[in-house]
Structure formats: structure tokens, C-alpha cells
């Protein structure tokens, strides 16, 4: 069968499966089965059994359920309340005041969670009522939370970076290091925008709160201490070479249990809910990874990746032109799919093009995560928008309009990363190539 016709048929099968409500993992398996029957009839069963086992029998993936479980435990603790109380005294004098708590709180929680939706939900449930009570502009409060909630994908330990590393056989430790400076850059860009907006709209920002005394500042530092200690224990152990990502994930779970117990949030009910939530999310991702692995092999048999890579080479696209095309492609994909599905669905086809264009796969992983972050705040399937819709009661398109400035900042951050790739590569090259 002609490759163009086969490609169109496989895309049609994929969207038919997704629109029918079939789970993403099983949709990928269905597309792979069709691809195998069209290209190598009779081999589908053997390839499926081999690849599904091989895709899940990877040591690095053992970190995934542990980090997910850690996030579920912290989601049910008093961590978000302590973060708000701890950050408030240090942001009150900045232009924008407590709006920066959304950004800094999401950055901190992302560093101990790894999940964008969990970061948005946890910080949002605490910060939005407090900001509303203090008279802050609700549109800006929701917008900052929608944008900053995406930090869960970029700031390590990122679940999606683990998935990308497993799918592309890249070092997860290098990916974690590569995500640090872009994450800090993005947080600075968000805070910078809030400052500029606040200076231009002074009438929409309440007066600064009274200066806290020394006792209040010490209490704030004490409230932040457990979060900072957990970040240092998890991320620091990886960067210092004392633990692998999997071992650091175990440290994180133990630390999360200790924090939850100390804050009074660890009960039999919350422990069971955290374990159940972690298991369900891990199984969902495992199905997607298994389906994507089978699809990767099936695509290899069809010859579509080789054809696309060759076609890209013939067009003579520069790296920037290729990245611009991929940026638009991934944003459109984000209209219909969640972030993890986008990563596992596209890497098998996109990676040969990236390697042929001479683009570093570690850098591309950060680029891809930034673009996936954009998809989290684009309707109709923006998961952060769904979370905020549930929290605020606003319509999803209303929340999307509030998040629009941060969507544009994410696009600008992607352009900056493309112009200055060392933002992502300097830290892993410096720390792991010594």
C-alpha cells in the first residue's frame, strides 16, 4: 500500500478510536494492529507480546509510580496551606503582591510532585479563596494559576520527563537537570509579567499587607522548611550522584509520608486514597506506554518514520523551520490529547527527524515538554483548564481567556529556548560531564 494512503488510514483509525471514547492506550494498540496487518500480516501477536513486556520491563520506569504516589500523598496533606502561609510574607512588597504566591507555590509544589494537574489543584484550592478574600483581581489570580500550574511538567521530578526518557532511551538524570534552568526562567517570566501588569493596573491590586514582624517571618520560614527539605532530599540526591531517580523517588515517598503524618493529614482514609490514586494513574500511563511501544515497532514496519525523515531531509528545512512546524503541530495535537499521550504517540515518528536534523534529544525533550505545557491551557482538552473549571465554576473557555497571556509567555519561552539551547544543556553538560 502507498505510504501516503497508509498514513491517512492510520490517522483516521486513531481519531475514530479516540472519538469513540476508547482509552488512549487501547487506541494506540488498535492503530498498531491495523499497521501490522497492512505491512506484515501474521506478525502482530508475537510483536505485541514481545514489545509490551519490553516497554514496561525498564528499571528507570520504577521511579514513575513512586513519584506519582509521592504527589498523591502531598496532595492530601497540608503542604499547600503551609506554602501559602510561608510564601506570603516574602511576596507582599513585590508589585502584584500575593499573586506571586501562585507562581512560587506552583514552582515549589512541582518540585515535589511532578504532575501538572496535581500542582494546579493543590495550590489552587488553597490560594484562590485567599486571594479572592483579599480583593485580588480574580481573572489574574486564575490566569497565574493556570500558567504556573504547568510547572509540574517541566520542573523535576517531572513525570512526563520520565516517560520521554523511557520512550527515547535518554538519561532521566540528564533530563531532570536540563529542566531546572528553563523552569526557573519560565517562573521569572511569569513573575515579571505580573509585576508589569500590576504597575499598569494599580487600581486592580489591593494595598500591600502590613509588614510582618520577626516572629511571623520565622514562622513562615518554618512552614516552608518541610517542602524545601523534601526538594533537597529528592532532587539533591540525584544531582549529587548519591541516588538514582528510582532511589530518590523512594526517598520522596518516605519524606511525603513523614510530612503528611507531621501535619496531621495522614489517616487510614487519606493513605488508602493516595495509594489508590497513584495506582490508577500509574496503570493509565503504563497502558499508554505499552500501546506506544507496540505502535513504534508497527510504524517501523510500515516505513512511515523513514519516509517522513527522508522527506524532511529533502525539503532542506533549517532547525528553526523544523521546530516551528513541530510547535504548531504539537499545539494542534494539544487541542485533542493530554500531554503524556502526545509524547508517547509522537516520539517514534518525530525522533528520527530530530536526530537527522542534528538536534540534541535531551534539549528536544525540554522543548517538547514546554510545548506540552502550552497544550495544558488550550481548549478543548486542556487539563489545567478542566481543573480550574472544577475549582472556580467558570466555563472552560472563560478560564482559557484568563490564561491567554501565559499561553503567549510559554510560546515566547519556547522561542528563547530555541535561540539559546544552552539554557537547557548547560547544567547537564556541566554537572554530568565532569
Looking at residue 310, its pLDDT comes to: 65
- What does pTM read for this prediction? 0.75
Looking at the domain assignment, is residue 243 inside a domain?
Answer: yes
Looking at the domain assignment, is residue 5 inside a domain?
Answer: no
Between the alpha carbon of residue 368 and those of residues 270, 296, 386, the distances in Å are: 34, 18, 22
Looking at the domain assignment, is residue 16 inside a domain?
Answer: no
Instruction: Name the DSSP letter for residue 378.
Output: S
Between the alpha carbon of residue 385 and those of residues 44, 112, 126, 225, 424, the distances in Å are: 38, 22, 17, 30, 27
Domain, as residue range, for 43: 28-432
Q: Nearest CA to 120 among 135, 132, 133, 109?
A: 109
258 vs 235: CA distance, rounded Å: 17
Looking at residue 338, its pLDDT comes to: 67
**105 touches 80 (CB < 8 A):** yes
161 vs 153: CA distance, rounded Å: 7
Structural domain count, the chain: 1
Looking at residue 409, its pLDDT comes to: 94
Between the alpha carbon of residue 292 and those of residues 63, 124, 307, 342, 364, the distances in Å are: 19, 33, 19, 10, 19
Looking at the domain assignment, is residue 14 inside a domain?
Answer: no
Looking at residue 1, its pLDDT comes to: 65
Q: Is 8 left (phi over 0), alpha (psi -120 to 50) or beta?
A: alpha
Q: Nearest CA to 52 among 35, 72, 38, 32?
A: 32
Residue 290: exposure state from Cβ atoms within 10 A (0-12, 13-18, ≥19): buried
Per-residue pLDDT of the chain (434 residues; tens, 9 = 90+): 677 788 888 888 888 887 787 877 788 888 889 988 888 888 888 888 887 777 677 676 777 788 778 877 877 777 766 777 787 777 877 888 888 888 988 888 787 776 777 778 777 777 888 788 888 888 999 999 989 888 878 888 788 888 888 878 888 889 988 998 999 999 999 999 999 999 998 888 887 767 777 787 788 788 788 878 888 888 788 777 788 777 888 888 888 888 888 877 778 888 898 888 888 878 877 787 788 778 777 877 887 766 766 666 676 677 888 888 888 888 777 776 667 777 877 777 788 778 878 889 999 999 998 888 887 787 766 677 877 887 787 887 888 899 999 999 999 999 999 999 999 999 888 876 65
Looking at the domain assignment, is residue 22 inside a domain?
Answer: no
Looking at the domain assignment, is residue 9 inside a domain?
Answer: no
Looking at the domain assignment, is residue 3 inside a domain?
Answer: no
Looking at residue 305, its pLDDT comes to: 64
Looking at residue 365, its pLDDT comes to: 92
Looking at the domain assignment, is residue 2 inside a domain?
Answer: no
**122 touches 132 (CB < 8 A):** no
Q: DSSP per residue over 145-184, as a string?
A: HHHHTTHHHHSSS-HHHHHHHHHHT--HHHHHHHTHHHHH
Q: Nearest CA to 150 among 391, 338, 347?
A: 338
Compute and round to an integer the Cα radius of gyration of the chain: 22
Amino acid at each position: 500500500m502507498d505510504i501516503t494512503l497508509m498514513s491517512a488510514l492510520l490517522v483516521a483509525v486513531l481519531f475514530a478510536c479516540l472519538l469513540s471514547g476508547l482509552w488512549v492506550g487501547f487506541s494506540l494498540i488498535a492503530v498498531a494492529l491495523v499497521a501490522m496487518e497492512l505491512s506484515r500480516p501474521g506478525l502482530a501477536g508475537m510483536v505485541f507480546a514481545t514489545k509490551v513486556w519490553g516497554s514496561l520491563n525498564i528499571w528507570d520506569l520504577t521511579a514513575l509510580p513512586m513519584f506519582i504516589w509521592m504527589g498523591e500523598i502531598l496532595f492530601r496533606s497540608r503542604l499547600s496551606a503551609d506554602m501559602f502561609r510561608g510564601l506570603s510574607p516574602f511576596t507582599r512588597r513585590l508589585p502584584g503582591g500575593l499573586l506571586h504566591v501562585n507562581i512560587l507555590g506552583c514552582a515549589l509544589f512541582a518540585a515535589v510532585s511532578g504532575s501538572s494537574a496535581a500542582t494546579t489543584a493543590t495550590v489552587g484550592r488553597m490560594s484562590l479563596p485567599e486571594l479572592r478574600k483579599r480583593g485580588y483581581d480574580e481573572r489574574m489570580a486564575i490566569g497565574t494559576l493556570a500558567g504556573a500550574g504547568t510547572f509540574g511538567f517541566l520542573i523535576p521530578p517531572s513525570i512526563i520527563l520520565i516517560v520521554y526518557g523511557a520512550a527515547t532511551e535518554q538519561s532521566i538524570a540528564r533530563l531532570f537537570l536540563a529542566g531546572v534552568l528553563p523552569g526557573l526562567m519560565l517562573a521569572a517570566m511569569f513573575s515579571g509579567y505580573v509585576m508589569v501588569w500590576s504597575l499598569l493596573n494599580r487600581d486592580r491590586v489591593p494595598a500591600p499587607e502590613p509588614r510582618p514582624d520577626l516572629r511571623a517571618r520565622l514562622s513562615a520560614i518554618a512552614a516552608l522548611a518541610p517542602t524545601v527539605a523534601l526538594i533537597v532530599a529528592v532532587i539533591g540526591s540525584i544531582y549529587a550522584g548519591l541516588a538514582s531517580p528510582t532511589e530518590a523517588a523512594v526517598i520522596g515517598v518516605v519524606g511525603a509520608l513523614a510530612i503528611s503524618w507531621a501535619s496531621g493529614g495522614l489517616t487510614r482514609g487519606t493513605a488508602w486514597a493516595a495509594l489508590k490514586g497513584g495506582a490508577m494513574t500509574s496503570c493509565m500511563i503504563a497502558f499508554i506506554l505499552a500501546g506506544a511501544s507496540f505502535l513504534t515497532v508497527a510504524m517501523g514496519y510500515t516505513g512511515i518514520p523513514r519516509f517522513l525523515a527522508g522527506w524532511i531531509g529533502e525539503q532542506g528545512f533549517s532547525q528553526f523551520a523544523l521546530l516551528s512546524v513541530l510547535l504548531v503541530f504539537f499545539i494542534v495535537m494539544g487541542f485533542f490529547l493530554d500531554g503524556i499521550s502526545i509524547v508517547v504517540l509522537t516520539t517514534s515518528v518525530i525522533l528520527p527527524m530530530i536526530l537527522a536534523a542534528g538536534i540534541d534529544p535531551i534539549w528536544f525533550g525540554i522543548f517538547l515538554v514546554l510545548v506540552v505545557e502550552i497544550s495544558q491551557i488550550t481548549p478543548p482538552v486542556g487539563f489545567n483548564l478542566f481543573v480550574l473549571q472544577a475549582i472556580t465554576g467558570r466555563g472552560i473557555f472563560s478560564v482559557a481567556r484568563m490564561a491567554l497571556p501565559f499561553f503567549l509567555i510559554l510560546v515566547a519561552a519556547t522561542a528563547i529556548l530555541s535561540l539559546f539551547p544552552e539554557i537547557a544543556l548547560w547544567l547537564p553538560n556541566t554537572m554530568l560531564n565532569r
